Amino acid sequence: MDKIHAFVQLKKYTNPSQQDRFVMRFDLSQTQVLFEIDGKVIEKCNLYRLLNVSENCIFKVMEEDEEELFFKICIKYGEKISLYPDLLQNFAFKLRQEVNEDDEIKDEVYKLMRSGEDRKMACVEWNGTLTEDEMDKLRCLQMGSFEISTQFFKIGYWELEGEVLFDMFHPTLIYLLQGYTPSLSCDFTEANTMLLSDALNKDDDDYHNNKREIDSILEKIYRSHNNTLFISKNSGCRNMLL
């Protein structure tokens, strides 16, 4: 994250009228971060190294708005590490927490995935019933487990012309916000790779392979809970988006 932070600082201290000359973007394969000035690449950053995963890890393609959020999160990581280097201690748990709970990042996450919902709204108590088959279908939303009070934290939704559309938050962004452990004294590369490839990417595949059936179940729950999946059970709730 240090290269990203340094580039952002360089841009920040440039005359505002010249800042458009500084561009940070992905290459076509989305495996390299390119740092450009006047369209010329001055530095590169390998995404595998940046996210501390092995090079056999597969990154799912990000759309433009997901790319924008990715860079905003990385910039926030760089900012936090620069200001509070001690956050890297204890497996960087506090670092992830600082970024994940940052109001700017939370606002951006909701803007992308639940744009019609106030993230500070009160949760709605669970009042529904699900069949065993429906619960099994929903297990892919939470790495094979099922607990209604935390089942929907990766799911975004939007109202469009009277219909509700659902999607799962991008696995790389979930990893970056909730699972990322940078290179420290211990080597977390293998564990990071397993989390992203074997858990988060698998959930994403399972969801999209069964999207029609799962979305039908989600809509039933959404409509019966005041048009939200921010649902609690016995007053416990972790269904806020991430």
Angstrom distance (rounded) from CA 11 to CA 21:
9
Position 14 scores a pLDDT of 93
Residue 77 vs residues 19, 54, 94: alpha-carbon distances, Å: 21, 20, 11
> What type of residue is 38?
D
pLDDT band at 122 (very low <50, low <70, confident <90, very high): very high
CB of 195 closer than 8 Å to CB of 175: yes
Position 184 scores a pLDDT of 62
pLDDT band at 90 (very low <50, low <70, confident <90, very high): confident
Tokens of 201: 């990417």
Q: What percent of the chain has pLDDT over 70?
A: 99
Residue 209 has pLDDT above 90, yes or no: yes
Residue 1 has pLDDT above 70, yes or no: yes
Tokens of 22: 């500084």
Half-sphere exposure of residue 196, counting CA atoms within 13 Å on the CB side? Answer: 27
Position 186 scores a pLDDT of 56
Position 185 scores a pLDDT of 45
> What type of residue is 109?
V
pLDDT by residue (tens digit) across 130-168?
Answer: 999 999 999 999 999 999 999 999 999 999 999 999 999
CB of 24 closer than 8 Å to CB of 32: no
pLDDT by residue (tens digit) across 44-88?
Answer: 999 999 999 999 999 999 999 999 999 999 999 999 999 998 988
Segment 30-40 mean pLDDT:
97
pLDDT by residue (tens digit) across 109-119?
Answer: 999 999 999 99
Q: In whole numbers, what is the pLDDT of the chain averaged over residues?
A: 95
Provide DSSP, 190-236.
Answer: HHHHIIIIIIIHHHHHHHHHTHHHHHHHHHHHHHTTTS---EEBTTB
pTM metric for this prediction: 0.94
Rounded to the nearest 5°, which phi and psi values hold at 42?
-105, -15
User: Given the structure tokens 């590490």, which residue do they identify?
Assistant: 81
Angstrom distance (rounded) from CA 66 to CA 112:
8
3-state secondary structure of 67: helix
pLDDT by residue (tens digit) across 165-184?
Answer: 999 999 999 999 999 988 76
Residue 100 vs residues 5, 52, 59, 174, 177: alpha-carbon distances, Å: 18, 18, 21, 10, 6
Position 59 scores a pLDDT of 97
CB of 213 closer than 8 Å to CB of 133: no
Position 221 scores a pLDDT of 98
Position 91 scores a pLDDT of 78
Tokens of 128: 């529904």
Residue 10 has pLDDT above 90, yes or no: yes
Residue 158 vs residues 61, 83, 128, 229: alpha-carbon distances, Å: 21, 36, 21, 11
Residue 188 has pLDDT above 90, yes or no: no
